[in-house]
Structures are given as C-alpha cells and as structure tokens.
C-alpha cells in the first residue's frame, strides 16, 4: 500500500492517521538507497508529490529547496553559479543503480563524500529543515542564515536520522564556491600503512588539498584552486611528497566522482561495507581482512570501504573494525546480504538514549521502524 501526499498538511494528516492506527510507514524519497532505506513497513510513503520552488542565493551562500529535489539537478544548478554542496554527497547510483536520488535522501542518509575532512560533514552544511514528526506535527528547525545557535540543534540531529524521527519536506543548506580548477597527484603506496603515512604528511601542506584517498596501490591527492594559483600549489605539493603522476581537469573530476560513489571501484556483485574509523587504525583493519576482501580508503584513511565477494558474506566486519579500532570505529553494510547484520548494536547507554529520542519524535514507532538505530523498536 502506498500514499502520496501532495502538500505538507496532507503529509501530516497521513502520519497522524498512521500513528493513530499504529501502521508503520516506509519513508523514502525516490528509493535510490535501498541498502540504507526504510526497510519493511505496512505502507509506503511516496514523497515525490511534495514539490516546491528552489531558492538559490549565491551571494548569501544559501540554498533552500524541497526535499524531493533531484540531487543531480541541484548539483548542476549550483555549478551554474560556480558553487557546490561542499560535503560532496556520494551519488547512490553507482552503488544501487536506482538513480541519483533526492536531496532529502542525501540529507536523511547523512553520507559525506571525499571533502569531509576538509570542508566538513553533511550535518555541518544543513542550516535549516522543515518536516513532519512522527506525531504529525509540522516542524521548522534551524534557520536561513549562516551562523545560528538558537535553540537545540535539530538540523544536526535530523541529518542522518534516516527518516526515523521526522519526514523532511524542505531543507536550507550552506553552499560554497567550487574551485574552478583542480588536479590530482597519484603517489605510489603499496600498503595501507604507507598510504596513511603519505596522506597524513600531505595534509600538513597548506595549499588547496581537498581530497586524500587510496586504492590500487596509489594515493590520490586532490588539489583545488583558481586556475591562476593551481600550478604553484601542485609544485609545492610535489616538492614535499614522493614523485607521482599528475591528472588534471575533467579527468581529475571524474576520478573523484568515482571515489565518492565507488563507481568503477566496486564490482557489480560485491558486498559493500562502509567503515569510518580513526585514520591511524585503517592499517590494522587492512591487516585483519582475508585475501578475498578488497580495501579502499578515503578521508585520508578515516573512511575504509571493504568490498567482499558473495563467498565472504559471513565475514563479521563489525568484529574486525572493533578489533582494529575498538569503539572508535563502526561499520555498516550498504549493499549485499548475509548472515551478519548491516549495523552493529550501539553501546547500551547510547542505544537507550537513542530509543528515548526516537520515542519523543515518533511515540507510535511508525516512521521507518526498521531503520531506527538498533533496528526495529
């Protein structure tokens, strides 16, 4: 069963009705991220009918738009003014093959791309939100200004909450200039340990570095700047780092789009695990992986992608991340099935607090219950 509200008031009505009858709703935008989507529910909530206008004010660095706005459309619109979503949301298309998704999905999933260590995370760019809580209340949180500490920071709490606290309808984002020129240095590094060392050294260089990743025996180091300045920054980086190949312009852009989304990195049948952890622990995780596993690093080593063949579906990646990084890392399976749960349980105190937060927004437990931290309520 599906319902497709056309206005925020109708959405609130649908949610109130579902809450009154204890009928769970699967909250999703365009359904482009099934691996981290709502999971099973008694009815599907189709949000594509909730439109609205897009207001982009480049001089104010502000973008207000409906949650249903397609992500690729938004990125093209910003590029026309030389701006971007600085947290570089990964396109879900390469992982799940169901399109580029919506901005609402990007914010609700909370995933950040390669610029995260340099420009901040998804949650750091969400200034304001409107939506409907699990009680059917029409909510506005945050503001439409760059600097705001008024009240509890609901925009951060709702970002990455996977639609389990409130259904997002409108979002205000901080948008930033996109550097007009870029280049990537490929620096040979045959082990994760060497790669993490090179990336840590590279991050000490002050000069336009906005990406540091590792795959296939090479560190990829992105440098972005104005066209006039870029050559000097590339020279400065080369003077302090091992010799390597230079990739420029659109080839560099394509390389980073692929790193963000794993396009061309993950094979079609591979299971994909995403593991944020302290960069210094990435080599320890690498050492624990079986030969069949393939590893990609991003965020200068603070994000590990573990790619597994179906035959390794029973590999407990949660346990390996815990062994490598203790409680300072975690893992989530974005794609693929297997006997291991996609997410590990939260530490008990945090799990209890999270459940209380969920209950305050959604006392009937109807919003994507299977996606709430810790699983179904």
Among residue numbers 188 through 227, which ones bind another protein (CB under 8 A)?
200, 203-204, 206-208, 225-226
- Closest to another protein by CB, 82 or 290: 82
Pick from 108, 76, 77, 78: nearest CA to 92: 108
| Contact between 327 and another protein per CB under 8 A | yes
CB contact at 8 A, 44 and 64: no
For residue 318, count CB atoms less than 10 angstroms from its CB and return exposed for 0-12, middle for 13-18, buried for 19 or more.
Answer: buried
DSSP assignment of 58-85, as one string?
GGGTEEEEETTSBHHHHHHHHHHTTEE-
Sign of the Cα torsion 262, 266, 267, 269 reads: negative
Of the candidate spans 31-39, 212-220, 251-259, 360-368, the one that interacts with another protein by CB under 8 A turns out to be 360-368
- Closest to another protein by CB, 257 or 344: 344
- Closest to another protein by CB, 53 or 216: 53
What letter would DSSP give residue 124?
G
Q: Which residues of 113-128 are buried (b: 16+ CB within 10 A; e: fewer)?
A: bbbbbbbebbbbbbbb
Number of amino acids touching another protein (CB under 8 A): 98
| Contact between 10 and another protein per CB under 8 A | no
Residue from 11, 14, 36, 141 in contact with another protein (CB under 8 A): 141
Of the candidate spans 25-33, 35-43, 67-75, 173-181, the one that interacts with another protein by CB under 8 A turns out to be 173-181
Residue from 42, 46, 153, 316 in contact with another protein (CB under 8 A): 153
What is the Cα–Cα distance from 21 to 136, expressed in whole angstroms? 13
- Closest to another protein by CB, 55 or 269: 55
Of the candidate spans 24-32, 42-50, 254-262, 357-365, the one that interacts with another protein by CB under 8 A turns out to be 357-365
- In the complex, least distance from residue 348 CB atom to another protein, rounded to whole angstroms: 10
Residue from 7, 9, 49, 146 in contact with another protein (CB under 8 A): 146
- In the complex, least distance from residue 26 CB atom to another protein, rounded to whole angstroms: 18
The secondary element (H helix, E strand) that includes residue 176 is strand 176-177
- Closest to another protein by CB, 9 or 328: 328
Of the candidate spans 25-33, 36-44, 232-240, 262-270, the one that interacts with another protein by CB under 8 A turns out to be 232-240
CB contact at 8 A, 176 and 78: no
- Tell me what percent of the chain is helix, strand and coil, each rounded to the nearest 5: 35, 25, 40
The secondary element (H helix, E strand) that includes residue 237 is helix 230-240
| Contact between 157 and another protein per CB under 8 A | yes
Strand partners, 241: none
Among residue numbers 52 through 111, which ones bind another protein (CB under 8 A)?
57-62, 82-83, 110
Among residue numbers 243 through 272, which ones bind another protein (CB under 8 A)?
none
Residue from 32, 68, 159, 210 in contact with another protein (CB under 8 A): 159
Residue from 140, 186, 193, 316 in contact with another protein (CB under 8 A): 140
Phi and psi at 302, nearest 5°, equal -85, 0
Residue from 43, 236, 313, 370 in contact with another protein (CB under 8 A): 236
Among residue numbers 276 through 315, which ones bind another protein (CB under 8 A)?
276-280, 299, 302-303
Q: What's the number of CA atoms in the CB half-sphere (13 Å) around residue 174? A: 18
Pick from 35, 28, 33: nearest CA to 2: 28
Q: How many Cβ atoms from other residues are within 10 Å of residue 135's Cβ?
A: 17
What is the Cα–Cα distance from 40 to 311, expressed in whole angstroms? 26
Among residue numbers 116 through 135, which ones bind another protein (CB under 8 A)?
116-117, 120-121, 123-124, 133
């Amino acid at each position: 069963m599906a319902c497709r509200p056309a206005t925020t008031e109708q959405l609130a009505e649908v949610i109130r009705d579902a809450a009154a009858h204890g009928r769970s709703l699967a909250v999703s935008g365009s359904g482009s991220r099934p691996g981290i989507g709502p999971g099973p529910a008694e009815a599907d909530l189709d949000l594509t009918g909730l439109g609205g206008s897009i207001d982009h004010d480049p001089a104010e660095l502000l973008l207000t738009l409906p949650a249903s706005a397609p992500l690729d459309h938004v990125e093209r619109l910003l590029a026309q003014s030389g701006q971007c979503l600085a947290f570089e949301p990964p396109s879900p298309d390469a992982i799940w093959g169901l399109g580029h998704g919506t901005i609402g999905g990007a914010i609700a999933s909370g995933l950040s791309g390669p610029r995260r260590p340099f420009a901040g995370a998804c949650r750091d760019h969400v200034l304001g939100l409107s939506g409907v809580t699990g009680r059917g209340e029409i909510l506005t949180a945050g503001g439409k200004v760059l600097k705001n500490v008024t009240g509890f920071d609901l925009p951060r709490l709702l970002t990455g909450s996977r639609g389990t606290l409130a259904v997002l309808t409108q979002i205000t984002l901080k948008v930033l200039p996109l550097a007009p020129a870029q280049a990537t240095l490929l620096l040979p590094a045959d082990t994760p340990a060497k790669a993490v060392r090179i990336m840590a050294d590279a991050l000490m260089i002050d000069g336009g570095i906005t990406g540091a990743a590792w795959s296939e025996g090479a560190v990829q180091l992105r440098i972005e700047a104005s066209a006039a300045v870029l050559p000097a920054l590339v020279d400065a980086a080369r003077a302090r780092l091992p010799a390597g190949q230079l990739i420029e312009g659109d080839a560099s852009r394509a390389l980073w789009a692929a790193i963000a989304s794993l396009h061309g990195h993950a094979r079609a049948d591979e299971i994909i695990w995403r593991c944020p952890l302290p960069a210094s622990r990435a080599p320890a995780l690498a050492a624990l992986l079986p030969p069949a596993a393939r590893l990609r690093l991003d965020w200068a080593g603070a994000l590990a992608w573990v790619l597994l063949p179906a035959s390794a579906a029973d590999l407990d990646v949660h346990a390996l991340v815990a062994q490598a990084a203790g409680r300072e890392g975690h893992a989530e399976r974005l794609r693929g099935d297997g006997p291991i749960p996609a997410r590990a349980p939260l530490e008990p105190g945090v799990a209890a607090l999270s459940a209380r937060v969920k209950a305050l927004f959604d006392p009937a437990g109807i919003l994507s219950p299977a996606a709430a931290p810790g699983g179904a309520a």
